[in-house]
Chain A
């Protein structure tokens, strides 16, 4: 099933040009860009692995596209996402995040139920 996490996830896959445009938007806003990858897209897995350090001081999207190309070469079957970090005071958090690479075969997220205290149900997701 198609994982729908982050911005634009309900749209078809972004082309490299479209990713560049989005990165340019983030750079215009003065946000730092970080590239992350993961093989586990479970909704509760918030911390993905970082590919290199977050990039501050970039003026052009090409620098990010180079890193993205390297990450795709190394982890072609992982989910790769681009995070934009807003460092202004009182924000200091990721302000935009979108998936830019998906594996050829995406797994499925299933709902699992657990009965507790008699007939009460606790719900959770499993990814497989």
Chain B
């Protein structure tokens, strides 16, 4: 009766056929740095591939726990990797549809009694078949405010995470130290999360590469002086408050583009070719107030 059941499994073939290789290569290509994260994702992919193989041979039939926790500073790529993870899980057949629903506390918790349960249920229904990404998960639990309805959302989430493991994967994200405190006060969450992945801050060289990559995508080029200015900028910006890694770089580049546009407009030097419109000069970056000590420097300095 069961002669058609396979007796051996070719992992390499499975790897090629399932499309996992494309996702991992895309991850390697598009995300700069994040070496420990990529390593962990490759390991998880191998685990899931072997699980799938064992299932096809009839060795195991329980869905592995896939819920994860991403910890790290802002701008380190947590949401982007969660999206890639959703694609990966979909290719391996662990989630049915592979879409990502990204929420924060406000999407789950209500403002009055009876508001939270339907709100959370609606979000969960939308996320079924895919991945639910909860950013800043520790805000769900506010122990100091007794009229806070976060606890209700937590209980609904815990129940769904346990009973609907075939239907939904939950990824929590946030700062490392606050997530630790959150897990301490909610041991139910910690026991349901199988994979903890930490996202380290980018190194200066990695941020430089990210900046170049962003500019490439928008067809901008930096002069040699601009490249040096960018290196100095990154080193200085890191020491200033509210540093958000890749996001800070993106904002800085937007401001550089603004200054470039203004320079071209005010100079009024006749017709411009594509190269002139795409070049960012050193002055466009050096004009940043980061070089004058940031926001604080400006306030205490001599600017009006």
Chain B contacts for A66, CB-based, 8 A: 121, 125, 128
List A residues 44-95 near B (Cβ within 8 Å): 55, 57-64, 66-67
Name the residue on B nearest A52 (C-beta). B118
Interface digits, B144-186 against A, CB 8 Å rule (1 contact, 0 not)?
A: 0000000000000000000010011000000000000000000
Interface range, A side: 10 to 19
Does B126 sit at the interface, judged by CB under 8 A? yes
CB neighbours (8 Å) of A64 from chain B are: 125
Give the residue name and chain of the B residue nearest to A57 (CB): B126
In the complex, are the beta carbons of A59 and B167 less than 8 A apart? no
Instruction: Give the interface size bracket for B toward A.
Output: 10 to 19
Q: Is the interface of A mostly helix, strand, loop or mixed?
A: mixed
A-chain residues with CB within 8 Å of residue B129 when the two chains form the complex: 59-62
Asked if B99 CB lies within 8 Å of chain A CBs, one says yes
A63 touches B126 (CB 8 A): yes
Within the assembled complex, what's the spacing in Å between the Cα atoms of A63 and B125?
4
List residues of chain B with CB within 8 A of the CB of A61: 129
Q: Smallest CB–CB gap between A18 and chain B, Å?
A: 17
Cβ contacts under 8 Å, A63 to chain B: 124-126, 128
> Is residue B130 within 8 Å, beta carbon to beta carbon, of the partner chain?
yes
> How near does chain B come to A65, taking the closest CB pair, in angstroms?
9
Minimum Cβ distance to chain A for residue B97 (Å): 5
- Contacts of A59 on B, CB cut-off 8 Å? 97, 99, 126, 128-130
Q: Which of B170-206 contact A (CB under 8 A)?
A: none
A63 to chain B, nearest CB (A): 3
- How far is it, in angstroms, between the C-alpha of A43 and the C-alpha of B168 when the chains are bound? 39
Chain A: minimal CB distance from B117 (Å)? 11
The docked-state distance in angstroms from the alpha carbon of A63 to that of B128 is 6
B208 near A: Cβ within 8 Å? no
Residues of A close to B167: CB separation below 8 A:
60, 62
> B96 to chain A: which residues have CB within 8 Å?
60
- Closest B residue to A56 using CB positions: B126
Q: Which residue of A lies closest to B125 (CB)?
A: A63
Of A57, A60, A61, A66, the most chain B CB neighbours within 10 A belong to A60
Q: Mark B119-140, 1 if CB is under 8 A from A, else 0.
A: 0010011101110000000000
- Chain A residues lying within 8 Å of B121, measured Cβ to Cβ, are 66
Bound complex: CA A36 to CA B186 (Å): 38
Q: Are A58 and B126 in contact (CB under 8 A)?
A: yes
Q: Tell me the minimal C-beta distance from B274 to chain A in angstroms.
A: 41
Sample of 10 more A-B contacts, CB < 8 Å, known A58-B125, A60-B129, A64-B125: A57-B126, A58-B126, A59-B126, A60-B97, A61-B129, A62-B129, A62-B168, A63-B124, A63-B128, A67-B125
Q: 28 A-B pairs, CB-CB below 8 angstroms? A: A55-B125, A57-B126, A58-B125, A58-B126, A58-B128, A59-B97, A59-B126, A59-B128, A59-B129, A59-B130, A60-B96, A60-B97, A60-B128, A60-B130, A60-B167, A61-B129, A62-B125, A62-B128, A62-B129, A62-B167, A62-B168, A63-B124, A63-B126, A63-B128, A64-B125, A66-B121, A66-B125, A67-B125
- Interface set of A (CB-CB < 8 Å, partner B): 55, 57-64, 66-67
